Amino acid sequence: MSLAPVLFSLYPRPVRVRWGPDLEAEIRDAGWRGLPDTLAGIAGLWLHPVVWPGASPHRRRLRMTTMAVAVALTCWFASLATVELGGRSARAAGHGPLMSAGTLLILAGLALLAPLPVLRTLGATCRIAVARLAVPAALGAGVVLAVHAGAASEPPVVRALVVSCWWTALALGAVQSCRTIAAAGSQVVPPRAGRLRAGTAFLAAGAASDAAALLGLPPSAGHDPAATVTGLALLAPLAALGLVLRDTRHLPAHE
């Protein structure tokens, strides 16, 4: 089985559309020796949507917005899961000032980056949002109703099912929120350079605050491997937000 088609499928779609068979042939010619460079190139393209081909200024800003939101929601979900499912010290960090500040900063960043709907296509935008978010919203609402109906007092299997549905709803909601932004396309107005820069900076500050909260647990709290691993893992998406923030300098303020 040739590895070239698999690697080719990992490139962003605009790149595949632009270079198509030529790019796949280049990957095939590089062979196994070129695998590290190919993977590095794929990762670099995903981290820099501003350089993808065939993009209008509108589409370029929308791609960068989607990228920043996706990375921030990944940080939020990982932090929340660690706080809720980790040890006692991780839960204590979740109620501390640093984690609370991180949540507020991420919410502020998301508000700044939210694309504005175009009035004449508002109905189509709403249909896209409903189609993408209906399942996680319904799943989350079902969990809330189950808890209020007394699911917490049910057998452990039932409680585990309810908890699993809750985390599934949160994960799906995060993924589908990004897909909604990407699918809206010309039906929304993405943030311009200044708002994109400010929103991404807020998201980066929020992710840094969450990482600091998990890595800065006092010795008296005891060792919590989950908190340490998540705190270190958050450094990668934090770096990705830094790249998006750097790329905003290439956007003219009047776009």
User: What pLDDT digit, counting tens, does each position of 78-136 carry?
Assistant: 888 888 877 777 777 777 888 889 999 999 999 999 998 888 888 888 999 999 999 99
Pair 128, 180: CB distance under 8 Å? yes
**What pLDDT does residue 140 have?**
92
As a whole-number percent, the residues of the chain with pLDDT over 90 amount to 22
Contact 214, 85 (CB under 8 A): no
pLDDT at position 134: 94
Q: Give, as one character, the DSSP assignment of residue 188.
A: E
At residue 116, the 3 state secondary structure works out as strand
Confidence bin at 252 (pLDDT 50/70/90): low
Q: Give the residue among 81, 89, 97 at the shortest CA–CA distance from 223.
A: 89
Report pLDDT for 254.
53
Greater confidence (131 vs 234) lies with 131
Distance between CA atoms of 196 and 68, rounded to whole angstroms?
9
Does the pTM surpass 0.85? The reply is no
Q: How confident is the model at residue 1 (pLDDT cuts 50, 70, 90)?
A: very low
What pLDDT, on a 0 to 100 scale, did the predictor assign at position 223? 62
Mean pLDDT of 133-154: 86
Per-residue confidence (pLDDT) for residue 202, from 0 to 100: 94
Provide the mean pLDDT of the chain: 84
Q: Output the six-digit token pair for 230.
A: 């998540």
Residue 220 or 44, more confident: 44
pLDDT of 142 over the 60 cut: yes
Distance CA 128, CA 15 (A): 25
> Could you read off the pLDDT of 160-204 as tens digits, one per residue?
888 899 999 999 999 999 889 888 887 888 898 889 999 999 999
pLDDT of 139 over the 90 cut: yes
